Amino acid sequence: MAEMRFLKHFPKAILRSPLHPVMSRRFLLLSFQGRKTGRRYHLPLAYLRRNGEVIMTTDSGWWRNMQGGRPVQLRIAGRTLSGIAWAVKDEAEVRAAMRDLIASQPSYARLAGVQKNEDGSLDLDRAARERVLIRVELEPAS
């Protein structure tokens, strides 16, 4: 049990430490406050910077905290950035985000559980129905 707890917290510790370059090209630490509980969450997630924003996807229920836009902090490459996160369920937008994430990080397909079609292509349509895009508009640097 202690081993599982260590493995769960290990990515967070690395992303917060001077050793972050080991992971921070592909992963960030998303921090936000729960809408109902007020609890603070810190989630390591694969990400991509695209068109002046940061995108990631999830199939976990925490995305509901981002409905209507919510303030978040991102720990990227040793820096903490603030922004507003939006949950996007539009399948076309999710599919495009998945395509971009996989193009920049081919291993993201496996990480996100993207299935293959019979012809060997990735089933982005199914993935877009099962996942939610989190789009973060970064605040200007002060």
Between residues 16 and 114, the one the model is more confident about: 114
Between residues 16 and 62, the one the model is more confident about: 62
If pLDDT is split at 50, 70 and 90, which confidence band does 140 have? confident
Name the strands in the sheet holding 53-58, side by side, starting at the edge strand that comes first in the sequence: 40-46, 27-33, 70-76, 79-88, 132-138, 53-58, 48-50
- The domains found in the chain, sorted by start residue, are 2-138 (2.30.110.10)
Residue 85's pLDDT is what? 98
Residue-averaged pLDDT of the chain: 87
pLDDT of 6-57, one tens digit each?
445 666 666 666 656 556 678 999 999 999 999 999 999 999 998 889 999 9
- Which among 84, 99, 85, 81 is positioned nearest to 24, based on CA atoms? 81
Residue with tokens 């993201």: 108
If pLDDT is split at 50, 70 and 90, which confidence band does 106 have? very high
Residue 19's pLDDT is what? 54
Residue 24, both tokens? 């921070």
